[in-house]
Amino acid sequence: MRGSPSELTLEPPPAASTRPNQARSVWLFWAMLFAVAFALYAVSASPEVHWQDAGQYELRVAQGQLIDPSGLCRSHPLHFWLCAAAVRALPVPLPLAMSLVSALAGALAVANVFGIVRQWTGQTTAGVLAAGGLALSESFWQFSSIPGTHVISAAILTLEFWALLNWDQTRRPRWLILMFLANGIGLANHNMALLSLPVIAIVLMIAIARGQARWGTAVWSFVAWLAGSSMYLWLILAKARSDGLGSALHSAIVGIYGNAVAGRHLLLTYTATSIAFTLFSFPNLMLPAAVVGILRWPRVGSGQLAYWALLAATALQLGFVLRYNVITQYAFLLPAYTLIAIFCGLGFAVVARTWSPAAGRAALALATITILLTPTVYLAAFGVTRHFHLLGSWARNKPYRDDYRYLLIPWSRGEHSAQRMSVHASELAGTDGLIVQPDGMGAFAVEYQLLLQGKSKVQTTAYFDPAQIETYVRAGRPVVLVPVNVGGQVTSAPTGVWNRSGDLYYLDPGRSVSPSHENGK
């Protein structure tokens, strides 16, 4: 330690050696892990339209719709513009171009986890295991191969925490500023960035209180945060000018999802599902290693400030997500997965440092084997659960979708159900028909397919309106029904009967109603 209190500088600990040869070696490993992870996710990505949020993002980019109708909180301008740029730059189908953005972000998060663990612990093996375990985790892998915002949030969060670790090791003010810049960029992508903002704000206040940073650093940190989040702040200001500040802030923070964000109607089934997906995503020694890292690192490792910041950020992420009342709750866990992976790396480092050489090598070898075998667990789980129909009533039976494959296999390439459903619906609707689709999970895929095929005269609706259907029938125009649950009960047609075609239905006005058709058989 040297210098005056106002210029306090701590030398990096031995574990974070910055000798040129070691630095080149670290960045070589970083680049290799990035390349391997990106290749894995890119090969896994599907070039076809997707279900749920991914389908909505694809439709919005195809339409050039920056503002989401459900509120600014769903607009995600950074994700939108990154995907729009990829679609323009890459000579591939729009869904694949957008999926490659996720692949790039996922690879960045994986490589950064290695970099953080390697710098913090000085151990390459611990960093590689932590990064590899994250890369092959089921949910992280799946969302790195389809369009989405959460994996981008995870990547930006690793940048934010890496800057925090550098501050803890060097006390150089620029790292505080970069920490807030990363958080602002994260907010431009998703509101989840607000969860770590209190943590880095407390770090900044501690630095100022201890004389390790000046108020000028706080000012520059705020300016950096404004610059990083400017894409989103500009949308809020634009809406405030037209609808008022209160409306703009409500739209930006919760939109139409106020009750879900507040968790007023908590569904424990969602939480249980998220916990199950977490256990399924790490069917190896990653989670035990994370427990070791959380419990033992403060006693044997360095970087106490970084440790407590990491623990607080992880607790905030998990605390919010596990009470968030949304059916895709588990998708919001991806940023937390990256933080847990860092704890895993600390745990592996503890084993290497404190166990006997033989026991440590054996434990790390076993961890390596279990991580490499992770994909076989997914395949085995898919085969067993599908054979014995273990999903039972939990299966949603979307048209052409195998729920076992959709939920349990992380690579998206080869999962064609949304494409098949939307193409078939478009074919049945002809050039001027009506598609009735009460299930919002596939509605965006249908809209995207119609846009892609230039069928502007085909109408879609989420509501079963007998008068509207009769109008189409009288005009001799096709009426198509995309069922919520294939094989489930179908609402009776106001005239004629529903004929089943594959997993969809088309209205035959010339036939009389029969009980079998009323039940969708």
- 357 and 436 housed in the same domain: no
Q: What is the pLDDT of residue 22?
A: 72
Residue 7 is assigned to a structural domain of this protein: no
Q: How far apart are alpha carbons 464 and 2 in whole angstroms?
A: 74
Q: Are residues 77 and 91 in the same domain?
A: yes
| 4 within a domain of the structure (yes/no) | no
Q: Which residues of the chain have pLDDT under 70?
A: 1-20, 256-267, 511-521
Q: pLDDT tens across 257-307, in order? A: 655 565 556 668 888 889 999 999 999 999 999 999 999 999 999 999 999
What secondary structure, in 3-state letters, does 142-201 show? Answer: HHCCCCCCHHHHHHHHHHHHHHHHHHHHHCCHHHHHHHHHHHHHHHHHCHHHHHCHHHHH
Note whether 363 and 496 are same-domain residues: no
In a domain, 481, yes or no: yes
Check residue 280 and give its pLDDT: 95
In a domain, 3, yes or no: no
Residues 288 and 391 in one domain: no
pLDDT for the residue numbered 256: 65
Q: Are residues 365 and 461 in the same domain?
A: no
What's CA 495's distance to the chain center, in Å?
44
Q: Measure the CA–CA gap between 74 and 57, rounded to whole angstroms.
A: 10
Q: Does residue 277 contact residue 97 with C-beta atoms inside 8 Å? A: no
The pLDDT of residue 1? 34
Query: Does an H or E element contain 500, and which?
Result: strand 497-501
Write out the residue range of the structural domain in which residue 75 sits.
Answer: 12-372
Q: Reduced to 3 states, what is the DSSP secondary structure of residue 434?
A: strand
Alpha-carbon torsion angle 130, 285, 409, 330, nearest 10: -80
- How high is the pLDDT of residue 254? 75
CA angle, 52 then 334 then 276, to 5°:
80
What pLDDT score was predicted for residue 393? Answer: 77
pLDDT of residue 473: 92
- H or E element that contains 26: helix 20-44
- pLDDT of 137 reads 98
* Same domain, yes or no: 245 and 302: yes
Question: How far is Cα of residue 329 from the mean position of the Cα atoms in its chain?
Answer: 10
Judgement on whether residues 430 and 507 belong to the same structural domain of the protein? yes
Q: Can you give the pLDDT at residue 492?
A: 85
393 and 270 both lie in a single domain:
no
User: Which ranges of 171-282 does DSSP label H, i.e. alpha helix?
Assistant: 173-189, 197-209, 215-228, 230-243, 245-253, 258-262, 268-281
On whether both 258 and 164 belong to a single domain, the answer is yes
The answer on 367 and 384 residing in a single domain is no
Q: Does residue 1 belong to any structural domain of this protein?
A: no
Task: Report yes or no on 489 lying in a domain.
Answer: yes
DSSP three-state, residue 327: coil
pLDDT of residue 521: 34
